[in-house]
């Protein structure tokens, strides 16, 4: 969504993983992640249609460092679908950390997509698991609803927002990212790489 476009019936806002564990004091806190909450609330008031994602891992998920003997958070391992970053245990289903930030004030959410619930596959994108083959069903839902444009915001900019934006674009949706309503983890330059990749893919970066 560009600066001159007002959201209409063909627009959907996709709010990514604004959950307690990704905010300060959470298990995998994104620096200043809670700062986006009022921005997301204001942005959401502009949209008639909103989808949210929720990281929703089982205990012992394969992306958790604790599931691999001798490994620490932010180590990497090789798995069937490529290189996997290992994370602290986070967003375990049914825990407070997996709940949405309590400051979110968005009553008009029409769909919540839970991801990462398959024990053996991590899931950054709202559209596909990290094996890049297993769909979440979101693309089909958006097409059936007649949406043409997807605006993304949330956490973390350089992981779940980034992968979701790339997949939205590849699925044929006009895609934009509201940067003022995102924060990144920025592991070894990951944020700059994500911004460059989105720009090169033709994704509109605003704010």
Following DSSP, what letter does each residue of the chain receive, concatenated?
Answer: --TTPPP-TTEEEEEE--BGGGSTTSTTPPTTGGGGHHHHHHHHTT-S-EEEEEE-BPTT-TTBGGGSTT--TT-EEEETTEEEE-B-S--BTTSGGGSBPTT---TTEEEEEEES-STT----SSSB-TTSS-B-SHHHHHHHHT--EEEEEEE-IIIIIHHHHHHHHHTT-EEEEEEEEEE---STTHHHHHHHHHHHTT-EEE-
Q: Could you confirm whether 71 is annotated as catalytic?
A: no
CA angle 27, 33, 35 (to 5 degrees): 145
Dihedral sign, Cα of residue 10, residue 167, residue 130, residue 143: positive
Q: Which of 23, 91, 153, 160 is catalytic?
A: 160
Q: Could you confirm whether 17 is annotated as catalytic?
A: yes
Q: Which of 55, 89, 91, 115 is catalytic?
A: 115
Q: Could you confirm whether 115 is annotated as catalytic?
A: yes
Residues annotated as catalytic are: 17, 115, 160
């Amino acid at each position: 969504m560009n600066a001159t476009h007002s959201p209409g019936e063909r627009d959907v806002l996709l709010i990514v993983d604004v959950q307690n564990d990704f905010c300060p004091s959470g298990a995998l806190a994104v620096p200043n992640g809670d700062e986006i909450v009022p921005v997301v609330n204001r942005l959401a008031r502009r949209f008639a249609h909103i989808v949210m994602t929720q990281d929703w891992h089982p205990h012992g998920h394969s992306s958790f460092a604790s599931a691999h003997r001798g490994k620490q958070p932010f180590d990497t391992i090789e798995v069937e679908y490529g290189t996997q970053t290992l994370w602290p245990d986070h967003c375990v289903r049914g825990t407070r950390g997996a709940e949405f930030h309590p400051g979110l004030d968005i009553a008009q959410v029409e769909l919540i997509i839970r991801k990462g619930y398959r024990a053996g596959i991590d899931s950054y994108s709202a559209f596909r698991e990290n094996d890049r083959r297993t769909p979440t069903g979101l693309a089909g839902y958006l097409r059936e609803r007649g949406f043409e444009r997807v605006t993304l915001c949330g956490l973390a900019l350089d992981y779940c927002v980034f992968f979701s934006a790339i997949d939205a674009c590849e699925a044929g949706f006009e895609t934009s990212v509201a940067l003022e309503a995102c924060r990144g983890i920025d592991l070894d330059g990951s944020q700059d790489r994500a911004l460059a990749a989105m720009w090169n893919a033709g994704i509109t970066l605003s704010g």
